[in-house]
Amino acid sequence: MFRWKKLGLLFGPRQVTDRPWLKEFAQAPAVLLFDDFVRVYFSCRPPPDANGQYVSRSAFVDLNRANLFEVRGISERPILPLGGLGEFDEFGTYPVSVIRHGNEVRAYYAGWTRCESVPFNVAIGLAISTDGGETFAKAGRGPVISYSPDEPFVMSGPKIRRFGDGWYRWYIAGRKWKVVGGRPEPVYKIRLATSADGWRWTKVNRDLIVSRLEADEAQASPDVFEAGGRYHMFFCYRFSDDYRGKARGYRIGYAWSTNLLDWTRDDAQGGIDVSEAGWDSEMVSYPHVFTLDGKTYLAYLGNQVGRHGFGLAVRE
């Protein structure tokens, strides 16, 4: 059983006033450790356009390693340009997952495009930094992993990890678009692809986490780490409809595995839920676990999936 002590909201868009592209939201935190600071990548949004539609950008905030609540700097500009006309990431780059590889930092990110019959589609791209994660160049103009018969759309939320010699990328893949009150809502499940080099990927091609709420439960943010001789996954899940409020909105789930492929879901072991009041009183989502100087932390989103930013908890 994990036990977490909540430390409160760590970073939010209200702390920033001079970057118009970082006006709302700070979503999907992902950490890269440096000697004396912690870089947290996240996704944010400029104000919506005249039609009320958003684009998502991605950026980072550097936190003092000795005191994570002290901001040392914020990226001057988004780390990735939006894609060109007709490209998969023309209308958003969100979320981002980073990993060091030699002198590179590789970022796997989800790119958003807009569709006619459904609001969007999402695919996973790759960008590479050679300056320690300050700036990234896209590896190509298309996605690094394609849709396939059983993963037909909405491939999103990549989480890149290395265990042993292997590259592992957890992500989500859309199962269906469910029309709720005339509005298409995506149902997605947690999936895995493996690779020897981070470029050519083989899909495991099955759902890793059983659904608990309902068959159409949506699952996201599969965040995996190793501790105590086991692999642990924190993720989030919600109902397929009417999920924008407290009752049916995102919660954080938990599963464990000994081989990275077969997972036992046991949400009660995760040990984190909504608060009585405050910024995370209605939902908790997009968990990211990292270890720093002997402590294990959980970064996560609260109400309205990160509109107010992300918070932090420490393992007791």
Partner 1 sequence: MRWRKLGQIFDPTEHALPNGCAEFAQSPQALVFDDFVRIYFSTRARDAGGKYLSHVAFVDMKKNLRDVLRVSEKAVIPLGDLGCFDEHGIFPMNVLRHRGAVYGYTSGWSRRVSVSVETAIGLAVSRDGGITFERLGSGPIVAASLQEPYLVGDAFVKVVGEQFHMWYIFGTGWKRFSDGAPPDRTYKIGHASSRDGVSWQKEEAQQIIPDRLGPDESQALPTVIEIDQRLHMFFCYRQSFDFRKNRDRGYRIGHACSDDRVSWTRDDARPALDGTSGAWDSDMQCYPHVFECDGQVHLLYNGNEFGRRGFGLAVLDR
Binding residues vs partner 1 (CB under 8 A)? 83-88, 90-91, 113-118, 121, 123, 126, 139-144, 146-154, 174, 176-177, 179, 184, 186
Bridge partner list, 243: none
User: Least Å distance between CB 147 and partner 1?
Assistant: 5
Judged by CB, which is closer to partner 1: 114, or 162?
Answer: 114
Which is closer to partner 1, CB of 14 or CB of 200? 200
CA distance 297 to 231: 16
Q: State in angstroms the smallest separation of the CB of 122 from partner 1.
A: 11
Q: How far is the CB of 179 from partner 1 (least distance, A)?
A: 7
Q: How far is residue 126 from each of residues 28, 111, 157, 169, 199, measured CA to CA in Å?
A: 17, 10, 13, 12, 9
Please answer whether residues 167 and 108 qualify as being in contact, where contact means their C-beta atoms are separated by less than 8 angstroms. Answer: no
* Complex with partner 1: residue 187 or 274, whichever CB lies closer: 187
Backbone phi and psi for residue 107, each to the nearest 5 degrees, phi listed first: -120, 120
- In the DSSP assignment, the letter for residue 184 is E
| Per-residue b or e along 86-107, where b marks 16 or more CB atoms closer than 10 Å to that residue's CB | ebbbbbbbbbbbbbeeeebbbb
- Minimum CB separation of residue 241 from partner 1 in Å reads 15
Q: How far is the CB of 218 from partner 1 (least distance, A)?
A: 14
Instruction: Specify the amino acid at residue 23.
Output: K
**Of 8 and 140, which CB lies nearer to partner 1 in the complex structure?**
140
Q: Which is nearer to partner 1, 121 or 285 (CB)?
A: 121
* Cα–Cα distance, 160 to 169 (Å, whole number): 5
